[in-house]
Structure 1
């Protein structure tokens, strides 16, 4: 096993990750967890999923709520095709019918409008969120209708690169964890989150390894 060779390169616990330390953290996790090590050995390192800190990104994450990634991307691209640049001001110029023509559900039409209005009014400043503690970011964003903990988790993980987030509401992560750890399908989210405690302070990167496994593996038959 080669993983321990890189552990010494992380002297202090990192709060955020980037391209220069991402694989080192993967190796650190693998050195302490044989199941994660097996994923990296079999599937390679996971992508370091990352998105820009923009209104468009939050719209994208909202669209991804409880639907396939392909469906969400289709709606985002349809919106981009209509207004070219996805900004709060341009979205607010669209009627509900125009947003529905972009494959937005009634609920997500309302959610995106609330977000756009919050940014235009100055209630939310996405750039300033980057300097706040995680709990403050969560409090500000979840105060908006349609933004719950899963949406904030993905924002913290993909946009701000916070190193220690486990999205307990993410079905792909939960199902991958169950398969990797060999626990029963009846294991609840709270129990899965408790298992993930072992991966502190790098639960975000552990989750990305789980997603990588989930995407690379054939789905079990029902």
Structure 2
């Protein structure tokens, strides 16, 4: 079986110490948990496909569908995926809407209508702006690309239910407003992505 090239999100003492200094509650949780690793997919196309598969479903379901796709199509490249029908893609266990999006995006990239590599040169905000022009890509999916593929340093996603749940658990909040969320996000900056890695872990504890 072809396995996708993955690595861990790179961060070190500097980010950990910074977050501990700006937020004692988060710092204490980080101390208790030790180092938390986040697996990322450096390949932009594979990461984008993975993010679409993961929209609105659990991490476990995402993993199952992703394994089926790799078994069925081999390497997840625009050329391989563009050749598949939406029915073949859907047969891996996702909704038809996602399958159609995946097929369209693979086609657009193969035909040169969308250049993923150009994203590497852009700011976070411009990456989001460019990605959401693609059918089926919203802000959450774009933010997942920034953190889970491009290793951008300061991403904390309001659209991510697990991140919000992690925040509520960490600070003992019965609910979370966008204003509260933004205050925490600004506090973590410029190391928001490492905070996110811990918040995800907290939400599943």
TM-score (norm 1): 0.82
Name the CA shift for 1:48/1:79 in 2 (closer, same or farther; >3 Å).
Answer: closer
Q: 1:120 aligns with which of 110, 114, 130?
A: 110
- 1:26–1:45: 8 Å Cα contact kept in structure 2? no
Structural mapping, 1:149-164, within 5 Å: 149-164=139-154
Q: Residues 58-84 of structure 1, C-alpha deviation per residue, up to 9 Å, x if partnerless?
A: 111110110011111211111111111
- 1:164–1:201: 8 Å Cα contact kept in structure 2? yes
Mapped partners of 2:100, 2:179: distance in 1: 30
Q: 2:73 aligns with which of 73, 77, 83?
A: 83
Q: Secondary structure at the match of 1:130?
A: helix
Q: 2:28 aligns with which of 38, 42, 54?
A: 38
Task: Establish whether residue 61 from structure 1 lines up as the match of residue 35 from structure 2.
Answer: no
Larger Rg: 1
Q: Residues 167-198 of structure 1, C-alpha deviation per residue, up to 9 Å, x if partnerless?
A: 0000111011011112222x234532333221
Q: Residues 68-111 of structure 1, C-alpha deviation per residue, up to 9 Å, x if partnerless?
A: 11111211111111111112222222223222221121110111
**Structure 2 gap ranges (5+):** 1-8
RMSD between aligned residues: 1.7
| 4+ aligned runs moved over 4 Å, structure 1 | none
TM-score (norm 2): 0.88
Task: Establish whether residue 199 from structure 1 lines up as the match of residue 150 from structure 2.
Answer: no
Q: How many residues are treated as equivalent by the alignment?
A: 197
- Which shows bigger deviation, 143-152 or 117-126? 117-126
